[in-house]
Amino acid sequence: QVQLVESGGGLVQTGGSLRLSCAASGRTFGGYTLAWFRQASGKEREFLAGINWFGASTSYADSVKGRFTISRDNAKNTLYLQMNSLKPEDTAVYYCAAAALGGNFVPKFAGPYNNWGQGTQVTVSS
């Protein structure tokens, strides 16, 4: 198991930027495929972006492609999500997640991810 703690959420105006971080502890961080999800009030959890264990393969949801960038620093045991051009519809609780997967495959659904953080709130005002 790996323990995950998100940070960096907050209130931002439309068009602004935020960078979320997810600090990991426990087992070797580098062996995990990592992802960001979000869940808006009254909606299902949504995949946003994922990155494979060594960072060479990434995957994005269409809703954030070109605006959000996922990255990881295995030496610092930290996952990042740079969010630009934020919109009110980006308002949600953002979660990082980890799956003990190798290779280049990055799942775009929650099932394979069995380690989750507690979430951080992002609110985009209009």
From first to last of the 126 residues of the chain, give the pLDDT tens digit.
889 999 999 999 999 999 999 999 877 777 899 999 999 999 999 999 999 988 889 999 999 999 999 999 999 999 999 999 999 999 999 999 999 987 888 999 999 999 999 999 999 999
Is 30 within 8 Å of 76 (Cβ atoms)? no
Give the C-alpha separation, 45 to 8, whole Å.
Answer: 19
Q: Which residues of 53-90 are buried (b: 16+ CB within 10 A; e: fewer)?
A: beeeebbbbeebeeebbbebebeebbbbbebeebeeeb
Q: What is the DSSP letter of 120?
A: E
Angstrom distance (rounded) from CA 42 to CA 25:
31
DSSP state of 124: E
Of 6, 8, 5, nearest to 25 by C-alpha is 5
Q: At 67, phi and psi to the nearest 5? A: -110, -35
